[in-house]
Amino acid sequence: MDAFLLPSTSLTPEVSLNPAQGLLILCGESYPEHVLSFYAPILEKIKAVLDTGKLALLRVEMHITYYNSASAKAFHRIFQMLNQAAEGGIVIDLHWQFDEEDDMARDLGKDIKEDFPAIHVVEERLATV
């Protein structure tokens, strides 16, 4: 499966999926006007990579600086998919990156740990500049 790169815009995060490296990156802001149409192809690509049976480890790096409630629902669907893959034997390392002053992002990282126990979550607090 080929690598996938979706550059960021003022409303959407950069999304990079590289199956050969076992790496998924989401970085930036997420409040697209049409959340379902933005995230549907991303969910399909992630599912296709997880379903190949060739992946032993997927490192997920997320640094979302702002998101709306509709994006939170899309993230939830991604985390559900990753949790199922982890339960099936794929090691999922989620590096949840957040600015140290962003309480909402910090709390979401804690929620991910509680709600999706098969995902190994590493919280990475970034210094606010």
pLDDT at residue 103, rounded to an integer = 84
> Residue ranges per domain, the chain?
4-126
CATH class of the domain whose range is 4-126? alpha beta
pLDDT at residue 18, rounded to an integer = 97
Per-residue tokens: 57: 């480890």
pLDDT at residue 82, rounded to an integer = 98
- Burial letters 15-47, b for 16+ CB under 10 A, else e: bbbbbeebebbbbbbbbbeebeebbeebeebbe
pLDDT at residue 106, rounded to an integer = 83
pLDDT at residue 78, rounded to an integer = 97
* Regions in the chain scoring below 70 on pLDDT: 128-129
Task: Tell me which DSSP letter residue 128 carries.
Answer: P
CB distance 123 to 109 below 8 Å = yes
pLDDT at residue 43, rounded to an integer = 97
pLDDT at residue 129, rounded to an integer = 58
pTM of the model as a whole: 0.93
